[in-house]
Amino acid sequence: MEFVIVWTMVELLFALILIVALGFVSAVFFEAYRRKNNHAHVEAPAIFEDPKSLKQVRCPSIFDPAEKYISLIVPAFNEELRLPGALEETMNYLQQRASKDKSFSYEVVIVDDGSVDETKRVAFEFVKKYSVDNVRVILLGKNHGKGEAIRKGMLHSRGELLLMLDADGATKVNDAEKLENQIHAAAKEEFKFGDSPASNSSFRISDIPIAAFGSRAHLEEKALATRKWHRNFLMKGFHLVVLLAAGPGIRDTQCGFKMFTRAAARKLFTNIRLNRWCFDVELVYLCKWFRIRMIEISVNWSEIPGSKVNPLSIPNMLWELVLMSVGYRTGMWQIRS
């Protein structure tokens, strides 16, 4: 009798596990299918507001010719405290470069990802201070996630080079020159050895697809020594999952400091579907699919209090990585070339 009861409990447990597993698989496939056209809505018109005239102006498109040398895209969600310092440092750096080099032109695109604090007010103060030609604010209305905020900014920027950087200023903005120099060197190399017989006068940095990834991998050894064991375990586990999902190539996919040529951004950001933390991993996957050259460059980074990453972010990251793997490997997520 006891044997029968135990066996029945084992059967029930097995059935429960099977139901949960089938439910999870069904949920993954349903969500992957639901997102198969998730990139299409980025084609909806984006607007920015001129604080002087209070008129809403249609944003330019990534498919338009470049009007600036560099665009800096800053996603912001409830960043009223950290944004002012980071923006002030950024604007000082850009103005200094512009004063030394008259050909240097720039814009900063702040994408307010549905903030409920005073982020919008802070951003518009910088527009008023530095002009709407140099600083623009795109309002998403509601929170979509960091990936969507950056995608929106990228698709409506005017630069030959497009740099994404976090609103906390964790990476010093002058490290942009490290990425910039590497992109220029790689672009000249590809132009020189490419199939095009064009002359040097036709060389445009914006036309050669290259992605430069800022990296904190050189800081990993120190981090391993100071972090608690469970954080190291989670970090190593996440790296393994990323390796399985996107393959090798970039050691630090999650650093928020990345630069793209206009040609690379056009291909990548019209295709990404992940809205939140793991869109960086999808960028690596898409770079490989398009055979876009990737460069990983060490940058200076310091941890700033107020991070939006929390323990609940880990399950969401894993969920998005599973979605990405299923979406692309089953062919549900078609890549537009």
> Any alpha helices (H) in the chain, and if so which ranges?
2-34, 83-100, 119-130, 146-155, 176-193, 220-226, 229-246, 262-268, 279-290, 313-329
Residue 79 located in a structural domain: yes
Asked if residue 169 is part of any domain, the answer here is: yes
Q: Is the pLDDT of residue 214 over 80?
A: yes
Residue 25, domain member (yes or no): no
Nearest alpha-carbon partner for 307 in 262, 258, 267, 254: 254
The mean of the pLDDT values for the chain is 82
| CATH number of residue 298's parent domain | 3.90.550.10
More confident call, 287 vs 12: 287
**What are 143-190's pLDDT values in tens digits?**
989 999 999 999 999 999 999 999 888 889 999 999 999 999 999 887
**Per the structure, how many domains does the chain have?**
1
pLDDT at 17: 78
Pairwise CA distance, residues 104 & 258, whole Å = 20
The reply to whether 268 falls in a domain is yes
Q: Determine whether 188 is exposed, middle or buried from the number of CB atoms within 10 Å of its CB (0-12, 13-18, 19+).
A: middle
The stretch 296-315 carries a mean pLDDT of 74
Residue whose entry in the numeric block shows the structure tokens 């006068």: 201
* Residue scoring higher pLDDT (266 or 230): 266
Question: Edge-to-edge strand order for the sheet containing 68-76?
Answer: 56-58, 47-49, 135-139, 106-112, 68-76, 159-164, 258-261, 210-215, 293-298
On whether residue 241 sits in a domain, the answer given is yes
pLDDT band of 268, cuts 50, 70, 90: very high
Helices marked H in 35-104: 83-100
Range of the domain at 273: 46-329
pLDDT at 197: 40
Is residue 295 assigned to a domain? yes
Q: Which residues contact 315 (CB under 8 A, 6 or more apart)?
A: none
Decide if 27 is inside a domain: no
Least confident window among 67-76, 84-93, 145-154, 241-250: 241-250
Pinpoint the alpha helices (H) of 194-278. 220-226, 229-246, 262-268
* Angle CA 315–319–324, to nearest 5: 150
Q: Answer for the pair 68, 156: CB distance below 8 angstroms, yes or no.
A: no
On whether residue 53 sits in a domain, the answer given is: yes
- Residue 329, CA atoms < 13 Å, CB-side half-sphere: 11
Dihedral sign computed on CA atoms, order 291, 292, 295, 296 = negative
